[in-house]
Amino acid sequence: MTDIQPDETVDARGAACPGPLMDLIGAIRSAESGDVVRLLSDTDGSLTDVPEWAEEAGNELLSVEELDDHHAFYVEKT
Amino acid sequence: MTDHIVVLGGGTGGTVLANDLADRLEPELDADDVRVTLVNDDPEHVYKPVWLYVPFGQREPADGRRPLDELVDDAVDLRIGRVTGIDTDSQRLRFRGANPAVDYDYLVVATGSTLEPDRVPGLADGGHDYYSESGASALREELLSFTEGELVLSVVGTPHMCPAAPLEFVFMADDWFRQRGLRDDVDITYTYPIQRVHGNPHIAEWAKPIMDERVIEVETFFNAESVDPDAETVTSMEGTEVDYDLLVTIPPHGGVDLVADAGLGDDGWVDVDKHTLEAEAADNVYALGDTADTGVPNAGSVAHYQAGVVGQRLASEVRGRPATATYDGKTLCFIETGMDAASFVEFDYERPPSPAPPSEKLHWSKLAYNESYWLTARGLL
Closest B-chain CA to A11? B266
- On the question of a cis peptide bond just before residue B166, with omega within 30 degrees of 0, the verdict is no
Fold of A8-76: Translation Initiation Factor IF3 (3.30.110)
Please indicate whether, in this complex, the C-beta atoms of A18 and B238 are within 8 angstroms of each other.
Answer: no
From the candidates A17, A23, A29, A48, which should be mutated to test the interface with B, based on the most B CB atoms within 10 A? A29
The reported pLDDT for the residue numbered A3 is: 86
For A11-44, how does the pLDDT look when each residue is reduced to its tens digit (9 = 90+)? 998 888 888 999 999 999 989 999 999 999 998 8
Q: Is the pLDDT of residue B1 over 90?
A: no
What's the number of CA atoms in the CB half-sphere (13 Å) around residue A15?
Answer: 25
Q: Per-residue DSSP letters for B151-199?
A: EEEEE-SSS-BSTTHHHHHHHHHHHHHHHTT-GGGEEEEEE-SSSSSSS
CATH 3.50.50.60 maps onto chain B at 3-113+255-318, 117-252
Return d(Cα A17, Cα A32) in angstroms, integer: 25
Q: Which residues of B touch A (CB under 8 A)?
A: 157-159, 193-195, 199, 201, 221, 223, 225, 237-239, 274, 295
Distances (CA, A) of B153 to A71, B52, B58, B204, B251: 34, 13, 19, 16, 11
Nearest chain B CA: its distance from A26 CA (Å):
9
What does the mean pLDDT of chain A come to? 92
> Using an 8 Å Cβ cutoff, are B203 and B170 in contact?
no
B312-365: per-residue pLDDT in tens?
999 999 999 999 999 999 999 999 999 999 999 999 999 999 999 999 999 999
Position B3 confidence tier, pLDDT thresholds 50, 70, 90:
very high
Alpha helices in B273-319 (DSSP H): 300-318
Considering the candidates A7, A11, A13, A17, report the single residue annotated as catalytic. Answer: A17
Put simply, the answer to whether B194 touches A57 (Cβ < 8 Å) is: no
**Shortest Cα–Cα distance, A25 to chain B (Å):** 8
Which pairing describes strands B77-80 and B285-287: parallel, antiparallel, or unpaired? unpaired
**Do residues B262 and B271 lie in contact, with contact meaning Cβ atoms separated by under 8 Å?**
no
CA A21 to chain centroid, in Å, comes to: 7
Tell me the pLDDT band of B371, cut-offs 50, 70 and 90: very high
- Residues B153-165 have pLDDT tens digits of 999 988 899 999 9
CB–CB contact A22 B159 (8 Å): yes
Nearest of B215, B55, B64 to residue B136 by alpha carbon: B55
Query: Minimal Cα distance from B224: which residue of A?
Result: A29
* Active-site residue flag, A68: no
Contact between B3 and B60 under an 8 Å Cβ cutoff? The reply is no
Measure the CA angle with vertex B246, ends B244 and B250; round to 5°.
95
Answer whether B322's CB lies under 8 Å from B310's CB. no
Strand-pair partners of B178: none
Task: Yes or no: say if B174 and B188 are a contact pair by the CB < 8 Å rule.
Answer: yes
Return the SS3 of B315: helix
B175-224 confidence digits (pLDDT tens): 999 999 999 999 999 999 999 999 999 999 999 999 999 999 999 999 99
Mean pLDDT, chain B, whole residue set: 96
Q: How far apart, in whole angstroms, are the C-alpha atoms of residue B309 and residue B291?
A: 15
Supply angle C-alpha A8, B117, B366, rounded to 5. Answer: 110
pLDDT at B295: 87
- Name which of A15, A25, A26 is nearest B295 (Cβ-Cβ): A15
Answer whether B237 sits within 8 Å of A22, measured CB to CB: no
B144/B157: higher pLDDT = B144
Q: What is the DSSP string of B26-64?
A: HHHHHTTSEEEEEEESSSEEE-GGGGGGTTTTS--GGGG
Q: Right CATH number for B3-113+255-318 from 3.20.110.10, 3.40.30.10, 3.40.190.10, 3.50.50.60?
A: 3.50.50.60
Partner B contacted by A12 (CB < 8 A)? no
Distances (CA, A) of B187 to A64, B146, B177, B366: 41, 11, 10, 27
Inter-chain residue contact A21 with B158, CB threshold 8 Å: no
Q: How far apart are CA A43 and CA B170, in angstroms?
A: 30
pLDDT computed for residue B157 by the predictor: 81
A17 contacts B199? CB cut-off 8 A: yes
Calculate mean pLDDT across residues B293-312.
95
The answer to whether residue A17 neighbours chain B at the CB level (below 8 Å) is: yes
Percentage of chain A exceeding pLDDT 70: 99
Burial class (CB in 10 A: 0-12, 13-18, 19+), B114: middle
The number of CA neighbours under 13 Å toward the Cβ of A17 is 18
ipTM: 0.91
For the stretch B94-139, pLDDT in tens is 999 888 999 999 999 999 999 999 999 999 999 999 999 999 999 9
**Pair B77, B37: CB distance under 8 Å:** yes
First to last CA, chain B: 32
Residue B9's SS3 state is: coil
Confidence class for position B369, pLDDT limits 50, 70, 90: very high
Partner-chain residue, chosen from A19, A21, A57, that has the shortest CB–CB distance to B237? A57
Of A14, A15, A56, the CB nearest to B221: A56
| DSSP 8-class letter at B267 | T
Q: Does position A1 have pLDDT exceeding 90, yes or no? A: no
Superfamily of domain B117-252: FAD/NAD(P)-binding domain (3.50.50.60)
Q: What is the pLDDT of residues B248-301, one digit of tens each?
A: 999 999 999 999 999 999 888 999 999 999 999 999 999 999 999 998 999 999
Is the predicted pLDDT of residue A2 greater than 80, yes or no?
A: no
Q: How far apart are CA B95 and CA B81, in angstroms?
A: 7
Q: Are B118 and B253 in contact (CB under 8 A)?
A: no
Please name the residue of chain A whose CA is at the shortest distance from the CA of residue B240. A57
The domain limits of chain A are: 8-76
Q: State the smallest CA–CA distance between residue B257 and chain A in angstroms.
A: 18
Q: In this structure, are strands B34-40 and B3-8 parallel, antiparallel, or unpaired?
A: parallel
